[in-house]
Chains A and B, each alone.
Chain A
Amino acid sequence: MRIKSLLAIGGLCLVALCAAPMANAASDDGSKRCVRCHDDDDLPDWSKSVHAVKADARTPSCIACHGPSPTHIDKPAGVSERPKPDRVFSKHGGLMPAERSEVCLSCHDKDAKRALWASSAHPSADVACTTCHKVHTNHDRALSKTTEAALCFSCHKEQRVQAMKPSRHPIVEGKMSCSSCHNVHGSFGDKLVKRDSTNDTCFSCHAEKRGPFVHQHEPVSDNCANCHNPHGSTIAGMLTARPPMLCQQCHTPHVAGEVGALGGQPGVYSRANPDQGPQIGAGTSGKNVVTMWQGRSCLACHTQVHGSNNPSATNPTPQLMFR
């Protein structure tokens, strides 16, 4: 597919789209009285926010979100403390999380990516839109790859720890974020993954694992998380356990020696006691305790653990993921 041609076509389409008539600027009557007090000195600069674009007819005024708030605007006589606005979006505002989210959804539920919010995991845990998003700012932490993960880690502590481990995705570097894999607003996939399944989500970056292959490894096509922890691990390849432990959870072991041991330990290459020779000798098979627990372990021979497309019916054939 030639990207240059596609970009040119896209540009031409864009020119055509730009010929559409400009929207009329929205009326701002709903904000005039508010900004008499809540002016530029009171609020941070949010002029770049999408909620501040006056020319967009959909842009809400202050009272569209915060309510008419008549007693807040005109403090009643005899009241010592000015009442709060009708809708305050902080923890102390008196609104339940679902009520806060309903205000946002009055506009944003038209977006296909938020269509499943109501039944998803976050509102069930009393997470509101404003728990993560800040409206009156030019830098909403939830909208930047470099700051989003820290926001998610404020609740997802286990993932915070895993992201620090040596085998991980580049989240700390800001090259990926939680929303690279998850649709936090609701998804048909497990654990709010972006696509319909964990595997489909993984394949969006790791398409080489999709296959199908001549020789399939069934747990791979079932669920990548059968073997991997995508948030991080101390084991290379983000594995949940190292080979041969991981592999022997499903497969019959074939190791002479049977206990785990390493080259450099007594008894492996050296005689540890008069009654027993060293584990490794001149005639020791390749399936020995050192090759099983060190190096690439099972993957030294079973290299194609994700599946092999080798069709060869010539011995040794590639079944058992050899090649």
Chain B
Amino acid sequence: MNKIVSHAGLRRTIIAAALVAAFASARAQQDAVVERSVGVGAALVSGDSADRSIYGQYNGYRQDRSYGLLDVDYYRRDDDAGRMTSFRGRNLLGETRELGFIWKRQGQWKFRAGYDEIVRYEPYQINSGLLGAGSTAPQVVHLGAGVGTGSTIEPVTRRRALSVAVTHHIREGLQFDASLSSENKDGSRLFGRGFNCPTPLLPGCATTTGISAGWATLMLPEPIDTNHTQLDARLSHASGKLRLSGGYYGSFFENAHGSINPGIPGSLNGPLGNPLPLAAGLQAALAQAVALAPGNEAHQIDIAGNYLFTPTTRGMFKLGYSRALQNQDFPGAGLSGTPPGVSNLGGSLDTTLVQLGVHSRPVARLTLVADLRFEDRDDNTPIRYYNLVGSDIVYTNRNYSRSRLRGKLQGSYQFSSEYRGTIAVGHDALDRGAFTPTSWVRGISALREKTDETTFKAELRRRMTENFSGAVTLSTARRGGSNWSMPNAGPGVTELADISGFAYDAVFMPSLADRKRDKLRLSANWQPTEALSLQFSVDEGRDRYELPTGYGLNGSAMSSYTLDADYALDDDWRLNAYMSFGDQQLQQARAAGTILSFDNRNATLGFGVNGKPSSKLEVGAVLSVMHDRNRYSQGLDTYAGANSAGLLAATGGLPDIAFRLAELRLYAGYKLSANSSLRADMVHHRARFNDWAYGYAGFPYAFSDNTTLSQQNQQQVSFIGVRYIYRWK
């Protein structure tokens, strides 16, 4: 594992180098332009970690009250030689520091190097008795004193990436580009483990009773310690009518952790939250190794380009071949119980891609575009008996070979200088291949080998005047496919020509089902005066799925309405504002259960102003407000029983989930002198979020060891940062 990017010494070295680069005297050269700047300052942030769980998710301002601010810039340009050197450092004292270095002679070569940090703090705080949280051997400890009596765990994930890139113009029309990046990612994120007895998957594990617990759910943070290295190289040629490039992409992913092996106590909560001894078989089941993401790699080579057949006709193509490999050693990852003689998966996926296209303007007013894409994925992963059900059903993993053919034909005609019409037709055919006869599925009612979809699109654009333009676009798509296949009681599936062979409560997947999709888009841009411009857009879309039983996702719909305005008061002041209203709906049904109608409504407002009150002062403000509401409406299916009806009546259904955000951002920049300035930034952030995933009405959701998660419903944060910036040449 490459740890170089995570070494603290390296970070200090990088910061020192940044300062040296900024402060070092430039070698005097005639006609060289040198500019340097350093910005130093401090920031204060109100509230605590819980107040900042949404605001501080990515900006590194989650934990402390005060922060140092340091930015550096170095720029040197030699106009006669055409050389440029620049160095840039941002937020060097924070958790999201960035460094970028460019050295180039434009038209000849370019060298870039960079260092980038991204941090993500999990918005939820965990209260738990867990020992070794974020390790590969966490020890579950039941909180006997009750929920909220454990320690606070705040999972955080950090990415640190080092990259270099080089471009060389070998000669006119021949260029070489290469880049290498290596990113370390470490920390932890939400993860878990759970099991329910009895089950045919574990003969002998006992059910839950009043005196023993036969199931458990646990919160176990996933430990992260990975490296992802990517190499990209491309040679591009351009001469005359031909543009041709050949490239290689390599991706290498390594994970220092192969599995989690939790320690499980002998007692955990029963269904009513009281600690009970675990039922027979459950403790051993929960303690089994949980596989983490395996190391893998992918390689792709391709040739792509285009050729100008005539001044008005261009052909485009891409031929690509890629191979994805995964051969993590199972024992080395702490994973046992493999089929005899098997030490790794031997995973191998080969993908061949052929893409052809033509863009032509046979006559001045007519433009034709045609695209054809064929992708063949060949799964060469060995098929082995990895699976056992009970004591006598064995089956293998599956082969996921598939092929896909997509084509599009589009024509646009410029009727006049104002009107342009476009029609397009596309087709997408996906063949998932035959189901592996020695494999087995559960929890799925129906599969389908082939689907195909045809899309029609029509658009009319009108450029009514220089100040007003608009477009209306209609598209409709119809998807169908081959016969449905029903999983067998044992391995394999059986294709059924007659849908009546399926159970009355079978679920048909939205990714496979016949579908009708319709979309409408209207947009208009109007500039009534030189200073004022308005934009208006409407989007409406609807998906309807044809489900033989009516169970599953029946349909979805979306609509969006936006209005934007931009107004220049004068040369120095500008206003902008927008309103946006959106609605997304899903309708799905469960047999003998609910008909669920999900509705997400969103209203967003924004207002901004920026200007220059004087030659020395520049100010700006942005106000953003969002109201987002998720509504889960439930009705009862025809086959729903009295228990369902009684529960729905008692609860009143699932509560709405509302997210509200209001954020005000202010900035001001004041020029103190020719070389120095001050910059102040202020943010006031308010959020309200009543997601009931981990608690409702004061009733926390408790995992079986009394671990709970929480996120403060109302959050309020103020940030103020001031920088002194000194520039010199």
Contact = CB atoms under 8 A, between A and B. Distances in A.
Contacts of A116: 306, 316, 357
A176 B661 CA distance: 21
Interface in A283-302: 283-291, 293-297, 299-301
Contact of B201 (A20, A23, A315): A315
A1 B162 CA distance: 12
A290 B701 contact: yes
A309 B294 contact: yes
B253 A207 contact: yes
Contact of A236 (B196, B507, B652, B693): B693
B362 interface: no
B594 interface: yes
Contact of A317 (B59, B173, B386, B643): B386
Interface stretch (B62-70, B128-136, B440-448, B719-727): B440-448
A23 B82 contact: yes
B359 A119 contact: yes
Contacts of B689: 166, 234
B544 to A, nearest CB: 14
Contacts of A212: 296, 324, 326, 345, 347-349, 379, 381, 400
A295 B253 contact: no
Contact of A91 (B75, B289, B466): B466
B659 A57 contact: no
B19 interface: no
Residue in A219, A310, A318 with the greatest tally of chain B CB atoms within 10 Å: A310
A322 B193 CA distance: 8
Contact of B580 (A160, A219, A226): A160
B4 interface: yes
B305 A115 contact: yes
A155 to B, nearest CB: 8
B327 to A, nearest CB: 10
A245 B58 CA distance: 28
Q: Is the interface of B mostly helix, strand, loop or mixed?
A: strand
Interface in A251-284: 251-255, 257-269, 272-273, 275-276, 279-284
B236 A317 contact: no
Contacts of B74: none
B539 A158 contact: yes
Given A283-B210, A286-B194, A259 B59 contact: no
Contact of B293 (A53, A118, A208, A322): A208
A39 interface: no
A161 B385 contact: no
B234 interface: yes
A203 interface: yes
Given A119-B357, A166-B54, A295 B701 contact: yes
Contacts of B355: 188
A141 interface: no
A20 B82 CA distance: 13
B196 A245 contact: no
Q: Is the interface of A mostly helix, strand, loop or mixed?
A: loop
A40 interface: no
A125 B338 CA distance: 55
Contacts, number: 489
Residue in B288, B300, B320 with the greatest tally of chain A CB atoms within 10 Å: B288
Contact of B251 (A207, A211, A253, A269): A207
Contact of B291 (A17, A55, A304): A304
Nearest to A57: B107
A278 B396 CA distance: 42
B4 A261 contact: no
A315 B511 contact: no
Nearest to A21: B108
Contacts of B120: 170
Interface string B144-168: 0000000000000000001010101
A71 interface: no
A207 B229 CA distance: 10
A69 interface: no
A55 B657 contact: no
Interface string A310-321: 111111111110
Contacts of B18: none
A298 to B, nearest CB: 10
A55 B83 CA distance: 8
B164 A118 contact: no
Interface string B61-89: 00000000000000101011111100000
Given A116-B306, A276-B646, 19 more contacts: A17-B168, A22-B108, A48-B75, A58-B107, A196-B300, A211-B324, A212-B349, A252-B445, A260-B594, A262-B654, A273-B646, A281-B272, A283-B208, A286-B208, A296-B190, A313-B337, A313-B388, A317-B201, A319-B440
25 contacts: A10-B180, A14-B111, A170-B58, A188-B373, A195-B249, A210-B251, A210-B298, A210-B324, A250-B509, A252-B507, A260-B596, A272-B647, A273-B650, A276-B646, A282-B272, A283-B207, A296-B194, A296-B219, A303-B191, A309-B328, A309-B333, A310-B335, A311-B330, A313-B388, A314-B337
Interface of A: 1-4, 6-7, 10, 13-14, 17-18, 20, 22-23, 25, 47-48, 50, 53-59, 91-92, 109-112, 115-116, 118-119, 124-126, 154, 157-158, 160-161, 164-166, 170, 172-173, 175, 188, 195-197, 203-205, 207-216, 218-219, 221-222, 226, 234, 236, 241-242, 245, 248-255, 257-269, 272-273, 275-276, 279-291, 293-297, 299-301, 303-304, 306, 308-320, 322-323
